[in-house]
Amino acid sequence: MMDLSELERDAICELVNIGIGQAARSLGKMVDDRVLLTIPALELVEYANVLAMLGTETDAAVTAIKERFSGAFQGDAILVFPEKHSLDLVRSLLDEDMPIESLTELEQESLLEVGNIVLNACLGTFINILSCRLEIDLPVLFRGSIAKVLGQRATADNTIYMVMRIDFTTQKKMIKGYLVFLFDSDFTTTFLAQIHSYIRMQR
Amino acid sequence: MTIPTICSPDELATFLREGVDKADIGYIVIDRNFRVLVWNRWMERASGKERAEVLNTPFVTIFPEIKESRLEDAISNAVQRGMAGILSAKLHRTPPLRLHRIDGDTTPLTNPVIIIRPLEGSVPERNGCLIQIIDETNSAIREKTLRAQALALRAQEEQLRTLFEAINDSVLLLDKDGSIVALNDTACRRWGGEKDAMLGRKFLTFLPSPNANIHKRHFEALASSGMPQRFEDSLGEYTYLVSMFPVPNGHGAVHRIAMLASDITERKAFERRIFHLAHHDALTGLPNRAYLQDRLEHAIDLAKRMGRRLALMFLDLDHFKAVNDTMGHDSGDALLNLVAGKLQSSVRVTDTVARMGGDEFVVLLEPAGQDEDIARLTEKIISTLDLRWGSESDAIRVTTSIGVAVFPDNGHDARLLMKAADTAMYVAKAGGRNTFRFFSAEMTERTMERLHLERDIRDAISREEFELYYQPKVCFRSRKPCGVEVLLRWRHGERGLVSPAEFIPLAEETGLIVEIGEWVLEAVCQQIAKWIREGRQPVPIAVNVSPKQLFSGDFVALVISCIERYSIPSRYLQIEITESAVMADPIRAATTLAQLRELGINIAIDDFGTGYSSLSYLSRLPIDVIKIDRSFVAGLADRRENLEIINAIISLARALKMIVVAEGIETKGDVEVLTNASCHLGQGYLFARPMQIGDLERWLDARQPDHECWGCK
């Protein structure tokens, strides 16, 4: 288990907050509504703790938007919503009040775009501030259990997740989502090394 | 990219160009300075701009609307930072690009999805990006339709749900195994309580087992036949009508079962009330004419089958009009209610009392007894309804006239019977009111006569019309009197002496015999006491006791009370009981007779030989005396067979240490034969007729009774 120092935690939070601030502006512009995005917590945890942080069971249904990133560090950036909340978010943004029977094609696309905006904003900040090179693929939508969403590596012993809760606050409601960064093999270390150099530069 | 060698690079370049051109999406490639490098045919048509016009032109120049937009950001991210992006069709209030649809119409393209992918150049400076534009109008239309359908469906569901809950009946949807799939609030309240606790559970578990069985039967019938079921059931006060019908699945098979239970408790109560109103008289609550008609017809059917008799009484109050006229209708109504109550308490529960209207009532006796029984009840009703109505000073005497018709004697159907009873009632009115008439005059006469006789018997005791006669018994050996039998005579005020054969059976039938018997016993004890008081040695007096009295239950107590009251030795009292009475209930008779014998009273069997009792049976009864019936004695001298019987009786009686008395001694020949046969005592006209007490005393004085004779001990 890798612990984060207070400093590291603050640095990452700051980066992500810069990114999602931008994302909030983009979203707000699109839907003519003020959207507030906040990151109240960040942890580096193992799989079991991911579930605890997400407050969900292994087989509970979730909706996730996943983007694969590669380059300076490699892995998946995932925005996870408990099933119902993902629709709540889309419908809240689209100002539609519909029953939750199904996610239509266009709603799925909208959800993808929201994920794209949020995840790109975070990753873009990493790229800008850490001056590293990353290639980021198109977002993909997953629905199913958290285990399925996280993939085969999910339960591997040494897999470390960087998990942040992200709150979407529109004028109507607040919707909770989670940002999960899942680095391939040793890239967590690489990422933290980058963070360290960033912290040094700030001093 | 490794290029397969199946075609030349030139051919491949052509294919790629042509492929891109013919793609059904917008396909744009721009360089890192946003200058357009590729612009396919789709784009030419959607933008109205030829490729030649736009090549090398900055994207922002072609589409000025993208300045500072999300699309511009996304393109920058792709070109500068290698990030792919997607712009969805819905999230944007205004389309990110001004384009037209290309499929025939030229309406603005409002629902594009734009996918942006970074393209990596040979050096970062040569990076670019691919912009794909997809027309999602059809999806948007489809979504709109789906949404409208969903909304309509939801509205419909809401309506149905509202209806479902608004229904005042219990509605349940059951699975094929009987478990509850859905139920409305009414059903919850009716059967269980908590909706969540009921859902998924078997409906039958919420019913008591008798109800559950009924439901189960119908449920299974429906499941096997697919036919809707309808039945009534009740739970305590609650009565409900259940409809079960199959709910088919898409293929017509029974999928689920809908059950509707309508509360019909009120309707049932209402029906009962309506029935009551239709069949009963509002004032008295008695059955009305229509209901009586039903009951009568039913009673006739039943009586025909069972071979029974019915009696129909028509009653009409005499002088009712006077009550109404002088005291008002309220008073009249009160009187009718009183009469209704009195009538009902006069009859049995199986009988029907009905009000025909006005002051007319009908009583149906079902079943009816003999004419005399009917007449007796009719008389009782007449006397019960003989009332003084109103305040003391101006009371009106209200009486009743009754006409009686009997089934089957006076009619075989309801109509004839009613008519007969009605006719009889008018005859009763004409006959002076406060009386009754049968439809048949002969029946009236006969029953009236009996009723009068009955009343006279009742009065005879108080008027002291009964007289006692004593007939002595004589010892064959000593020729001296040694006891008497007391006999009852009735000296009727108008008719003179009435034969016991005429009034005893009626007294037996009416139970008056008990009262008469008490009077006789009392008088006899009094006589014995008087003899003792006068210093005259009493002879034993035999009293005839009717079976009704013997079996009345308190006869022994009565005897004890008399003996004690007059302080007489019990040996002077004899009880005579007929052989047939004993044989009617030998065990009870034996018990009572044994108790009497314990007191020291002699017991005699009267009319012996007529009751077909076996001689051996006698030995088991507590008997002291056997009185041979007169029929065996009459003409004894000429009839050998009777003598043999008498001989047999005497020898057996002697063996059992009983005394034998021969009755009906009329000739000297009888005396001779019986003396020879060793018969103990005789009684008959030859010795003495029954006499009044004065004559008896003189007769005894003249003959010196033998107090030591066997029969007198």
Interface test with B, best of A25, A120, A130 (most B CBs within 10 A): A120
Query: Is there a domain that residue B513 lies in?
Result: yes
Q: What average pLDDT score do residues B464-477 get? A: 92
Contact A106 B146 (CB under 8 A): no
A140 touches chain B (CB under 8 A): no
Strands B254-263 and B309-318: unpaired
CA distance A92 to B684: 130
B251 touches chain A (CB under 8 A): no
Query: Is there a domain that residue A1 lies in?
Result: no
Question: Nearest CA to CA, how far is B143 from chain A (Å)?
Answer: 7
Contact B89 A109 (CB under 8 A): yes
Contact B70 A112 (CB under 8 A): no
pLDDT band at B384 (very low <50, low <70, confident <90, very high): very high
pLDDT band at A57 (very low <50, low <70, confident <90, very high): low
pLDDT band at B473 (very low <50, low <70, confident <90, very high): very high
* Token pair in block for residue A155: 């339960």
Please state, for a pLDDT cut of 70, what percent of chain B lies above it: 98
pLDDT over 80 at A87, yes or no: no
Same domain membership, residue B479 and residue B417: no
Question: What confidence tens digit (pLDDT) does each residue in B56-79 have?
Answer: 999 999 999 999 888 998 999 999
Contact A120 B83 (CB under 8 A): yes
Burial class (CB in 10 A: 0-12, 13-18, 19+), A46: middle
Question: What confidence tens digit (pLDDT) does each residue in B182-211 have?
Answer: 999 888 888 777 888 888 899 888 888 888
B128 touches chain A (CB under 8 A): no
Measured between CA atoms, the residue of chain B closest to residue A125 is: B81
Q: Look at chain A and report how many structural domains it folds into.
A: 1
B283 touches chain A (CB under 8 A): no
Question: Backbone phi, then psi, for B628, in 5-degree steps?
Answer: -75, 130
Amino acid at B352: T
Interface test with B, best of A104, A127, A137 (most B CBs within 10 A): A104
- Looking at B27-136, list the stretches that DSSP marks H as alpha helix, in order from N- to C-terminal side: 41-47, 51-54, 59-62, 70-81
Same domain membership, residue B645 and residue B577: yes
Same domain membership, residue B32 and residue B76: yes
pLDDT over 70 at B470, yes or no: yes
Question: Nearest CA to CA, how far is B30 from chain A (Å)?
Answer: 18
Same domain membership, residue B552 and residue B450: no
Question: What confidence tens digit (pLDDT) does each residue in B478-537 have?
Answer: 889 989 999 999 998 888 888 888 888 888 877 888 889 999 999 999 999 999 999 998
Judging contacts by C-beta atoms under 8 Å, the chain A residues touching residue B83 are 120, 123-124, 127, 134-136
Reading across the β-sheet that carries B85-87, which strands appear in turn?
Answer: B36-39, B26-31, B128-135, B112-119, B85-87
Contact A113 B139 (CB under 8 A): no
Residues 173-202 in A contacting B (C-alpha not used; CB under 8 Å): none
A138 touches chain B (CB under 8 A): yes
Amino acid at A92: S
pLDDT over 90 at B129, yes or no: yes
User: Where residue B87 sits, what CATH number does that domain have?
Assistant: 3.30.450.20
Q: Report chain B's mean pLDDT, rounded to a whole number.
A: 88
Judging contacts by C-beta atoms under 8 Å, the chain B residues touching residue A135 are 82-83, 118, 120
What is the pTM for the complete model shown? 0.51
Contact A139 B86 (CB under 8 A): yes
CA distance B398 to B212: 59
Contact B150 A120 (CB under 8 A): no
Query: Is there a domain that residue B162 lies in?
Result: no
pLDDT band at A200 (very low <50, low <70, confident <90, very high): confident
- Which pLDDT score is estimated for B150? 81
CA distance A76 to A134: 12
pLDDT band at A1 (very low <50, low <70, confident <90, very high): very low
Q: What average pLDDT score do residues B139-147 get? A: 83
User: Where residue A46 sits, what CATH number does that domain have?
Assistant: 3.40.1550.10
Final residue of a structural domain among B212, B235, B268: B268
Bigger pLDDT: A32 or A130?
A130
Question: What confidence tens digit (pLDDT) does each residue in A92-133 have?
Answer: 777 666 554 566 777 888 889 989 999 998 888 888 888 888
Measured between CA atoms, the residue of chain B closest to residue A107 is: B90
- Which pLDDT score is estimated for B710? 52
- Which pLDDT score is estimated for B697? 93
Contact B73 A26 (CB under 8 A): yes
CA distance B697 to B541: 13
Contact A29 B70 (CB under 8 A): yes
Q: What average pLDDT score do residues B243-253 get? A: 85
- Which pLDDT score is estimated for B151? 83
Question: Nearest CA to CA, how far is B55 from chain A (Å)?
Answer: 27
Judging contacts by C-beta atoms under 8 Å, the chain A residues touching residue B154 are 99
Please state, for a pLDDT cut of 90, what percent of chain B lies above it: 46
Bigger pLDDT: B474 or B1?
B474
* Token pair in block for residue B41: 């045919």
CA distance B331 to B391: 11
Q: Which residue has the tokens 């054969």?
A: B501
B113 touches chain A (CB under 8 A): yes
Bigger pLDDT: A1 or B641?
B641
Same domain membership, residue B586 and residue B483: yes
User: Where residue B620 sits, what CATH number does that domain have?
Assistant: 3.20.20.450
Contact A99 B143 (CB under 8 A): no
pLDDT over 80 at B383, yes or no: yes
Contact B77 A116 (CB under 8 A): no
- Which pLDDT score is estimated for A203? 66
Query: Is there a domain that residue A102 lies in?
Result: yes
A157 touches chain B (CB under 8 A): no
- Which pLDDT score is estimated for A103? 66
pLDDT over 90 at B347, yes or no: yes
Strands B573-578 and B496-498: unpaired
ipTM for the assembly: 0.86
CA distance A21 to A31: 16
Interface test with B, best of A25, A26, A106 (most B CBs within 10 A): A106
Q: Rounded to the nearest 5 degrees, what angle is found at the Cα of A140, between the Cα atoms of A138 and A145?
A: 155
Contact B70 A30 (CB under 8 A): yes
Same domain membership, residue B115 and residue B55: yes
Inter-CA distances, B698 with B472, B476, B536, B695, B704, Å: 12, 21, 12, 5, 10
- Which pLDDT score is estimated for B713? 45
Same domain membership, residue B633 and residue B546: yes
Q: Look at chain B and report how many structural domains it folds into.
A: 4
Peptide bond just before B108 cis, omega within 30 deg: no
Final residue of a structural domain among B411, B438, B459: B459
Q: Which domain holds residue A120?
A: 6-202
A147 with A154: CB under 8 angstroms? yes
Final residue of a structural domain among B84, B115, B135: B135
Contact A109 B115 (CB under 8 A): no
- Which pLDDT score is estimated for A32? 67
B507 with B517: CB under 8 angstroms? no
Residues 21-60 in A contacting B (C-alpha not used; CB under 8 Å): 26, 29-32
Bigger pLDDT: A22 or B281?
B281
Query: Is there a domain that residue B152 lies in?
Result: no
Bigger pLDDT: B3 or B658?
B658
- Which pLDDT score is estimated for A96? 66
- Pick from B84, B88, B154: which is nearest to A110 by CB? B88
Q: Report chain A's mean pLDDT, rounded to a whole number.
A: 80
Same domain membership, residue B688 and residue B558: yes
B613 with B583: CB under 8 angstroms? yes
- Pick from A101, A104, A116: which is nearest to B85 by CB? A116
Measured between CA atoms, the residue of chain A closest to residue B70 is: A26
Chains A & B: contacts with CB separation below 8 Å: 91
Least confident of A135-144, B189-198, B664-673, B685-694: B189-198
Same domain membership, residue B44 and residue B18: yes
Q: Which domain holds residue B126?
A: 9-135
Same domain membership, residue B285 and residue B255: no
- Which pLDDT score is estimated for B531? 94
pLDDT over 50 at B712, yes or no: no
Bigger pLDDT: B92 or B403?
B403
- Which pLDDT score is estimated for B612? 63
Question: Nearest CA to CA, how far is B70 from chain A (Å)?
Answer: 6
- Which pLDDT score is estimated for A150? 78
Contact B154 A117 (CB under 8 A): no
Question: What confidence tens digit (pLDDT) does each residue in B554-565 have?
Answer: 899 999 999 999
Burial class (CB in 10 A: 0-12, 13-18, 19+), B164: middle
User: Where residue B377 sits, what CATH number does that domain have?
Assistant: 3.30.70.270
Number of helices followed by number of strands (H, E) in chain B = 27, 25
Contact A106 B139 (CB under 8 A): yes
Question: Nearest CA to CA, how far is A164 from chain B (Å)?
Answer: 21
Same domain membership, residue B415 and residue B294: yes
pLDDT band at B49 (very low <50, low <70, confident <90, very high): very high
CA distance B258 to B182: 9
Least confident of A19-33, B94-108, B287-301: A19-33
Q: Rounded to the nearest 5 degrees, what angle is found at the Cα of B551, between the Cα atoms of B583 and B610?
A: 25
B203 with B172: CB under 8 angstroms? yes
Question: Nearest CA to CA, how far is A59 from chain B (Å)?
Answer: 24
A61 with A43: CB under 8 angstroms? no
B84 touches chain A (CB under 8 A): yes
Q: What average pLDDT score do residues B344-351 get? A: 92
Question: What confidence tens digit (pLDDT) does each residue in B412-444 have?
Answer: 899 999 999 998 998 888 888 888 898 888 877
Contact B84 A136 (CB under 8 A): yes
CA distance B499 to B563: 29
- Pick from A112, A127, A138: which is nearest to B88 by CB? A112
Torsion, Cα of B438, B440, B444, B447 (10° steps): -100
* Token pair in block for residue B256: 């689920």
Same domain membership, residue B188 and residue B328: no
